[in-house]
Amino acid sequence: MQQHIPGLQRWIEYCNNGAAVAGDFLPLNVSSATVGYLSPSFADRLLNAEFNDVFQKCPVSGGVAVHTSLVSQQQRTAAIATVLQQLNAEGGIQGWRGELYPAASSFHEQPAFLIERAAAPYFGIKAYGVHVNGYVCLPDGSKELWVARRSRSKPTWPGKLDHIVAGGLPHGLSCAENVSKECAEEAGIPAELASQAVPVGAVSYTSLQAAGLKRDVLLCYDLQLPANFVPQPQDGEVEEFFRLPVPQVVELMATSSDFKENCCLVIIDWLVRHSYLTPDMPGYLALVAGLRSGDCS
């Protein structure tokens, strides 16, 4: 394992390439709460006169505020949706999903508004997901991880290696409900088996993307599967599932770009918790600390 630590650390740095430039972004406020961060050019676009009943300059934060005349979640959601339609028509928002994400300063706050998932990074909204590591314990004590290959026709990360189950957390679904739903949809894992997926922590990062600042918190789950269980692609998201011994997963992550980048962080967290990485290995603490580099709230 030792020799692969720098190769693993690389993915923590990759996923946190937004941290150094986060200060260049402008806060997006709803009253006194900061719910997002905007690039200066996107902030300018929102402050254009055509949207001046939806957004205004925020005198407190110096950034942008949702207009104070919009007082309820419903009002803000509806007004922002009209702005998004205009931006989308201009080609300003890529990868429309038709799925609503909550915008809030932290996970258990009442959302200030709901927003199309594809728009979340443009607005620097914190986004949450559930990521499940499915694994098998073999009789000799070794473990194998289930790996999914994403469909080559998916618009995002086609053909990349992925968790057995993972998914963004849309508004109105609990983490436990989402795990169970995604287990069924993506991998054909029956409810009784899916209910054995257990929460074990979280990783967080701040990525700079063309769209803006992607501020993600991934809620990590472990699912120990029986050796004779084989997941089945259901909804076309996954091309194939296969099992790999842990050392092979580590080598792949450390020496290739085969895995979807943020999955590497969730697998590193698993490697730490399952004692494949130990504090006597140089670089251990940087990995451990780096897993929660983003705003984990």
2 belongs to the binding site for its own copies (CB under 8 A): no
Q: Which of 78, 176, 184, 244 binds its own copies (CB under 8 A)?
A: 176
Residue type at 224? Q
8 A C-beta contact, residue 94 and residue 119: no
CA distance 1 to 247: 7
Around 177, how many Cα atoms within 13 Å sit in the side-chain half-sphere? 6
Alpha helices, H only, the chain: 5-15, 40-46, 73-89, 120-123, 175-187, 191-194, 246-255, 261-273, 284-290
| 67 Cβ contact partners less than 8 Å away, ≥ 6 residues apart | 52, 53, 54, 55, 56, 79
Total residues interacting with its own copies, rule: CB under 8 A: 31
Q: Which of 47, 175, 184, 244 binds its own copies (CB under 8 A)?
A: 175
Taking alpha carbons only, the member of 117, 10, 112, 6 closest to residue 64 is 112
- Please identify, using beta-carbon distances, which residue of 29 and 204 lies nearer to its own copies: 204
| 166 Cβ contact partners less than 8 Å away, ≥ 6 residues apart | 129, 130, 131, 132, 182, 186, 218, 263, 266
Q: Work out how close the CB of 294 gets to its own copies at its nearest, in angstroms, rounded to a whole number.
A: 9
- Please identify, using beta-carbon distances, which residue of 1 and 78 lies nearer to its own copies: 1
Q: Which of 14, 107, 157, 229 binds its own copies (CB under 8 A)?
A: 107
CA distance 107 to 92: 27
Q: Work out how close the CB of 271 gets to its own copies at its nearest, in angstroms, rounded to a whole number.
A: 11
- Please identify, using beta-carbon distances, which residue of 48 and 106 lies nearer to its own copies: 106
Q: Work out how close the CB of 267 gets to its own copies at its nearest, in angstroms, rounded to a whole number.
A: 15
Around 59, how many Cα atoms within 13 Å sit in the side-chain half-sphere? 2
Q: Which of 92, 188, 201, 233 binds its own copies (CB under 8 A)?
A: 201
Q: Which stretch binds its own copies (CB under 8 A): 64-72, 137-145, 149-157, 174-182?
A: 174-182
92 belongs to the binding site for its own copies (CB under 8 A): no
Q: Work out how close the CB of 141 gets to its own copies at its nearest, in angstroms, rounded to a whole number.
A: 12
Per CB under 8 A, which of residues 272..291 are in contact with its own copies? 272-273, 275, 277-280, 282-286, 288-289
- Please identify, using beta-carbon distances, which residue of 39 and 180 lies nearer to its own copies: 180
Q: Which of 52, 74, 106, 255 binds its own copies (CB under 8 A)?
A: 106
Q: Work out how close the CB of 46 gets to its own copies at its nearest, in angstroms, rounded to a whole number.
A: 28
Helix (H) or strand (E) holding 134: strand 126-137
Cα 130–224–293 angle (5° rounding)?
40
Q: Which stretch binds its own copies (CB under 8 A): 57-65, 91-99, 105-113, 160-168?
A: 105-113
Q: Which of 97, 160, 171, 292 binds its own copies (CB under 8 A)?
A: 292
- The label of the residue with tokens 């690389």 reads 10
Give the binding site for its own copies (CB under 8 A). 106-108, 174-176, 198-202, 204, 217, 219, 272-273, 275, 277-280, 282-286, 288-289, 292, 296-297
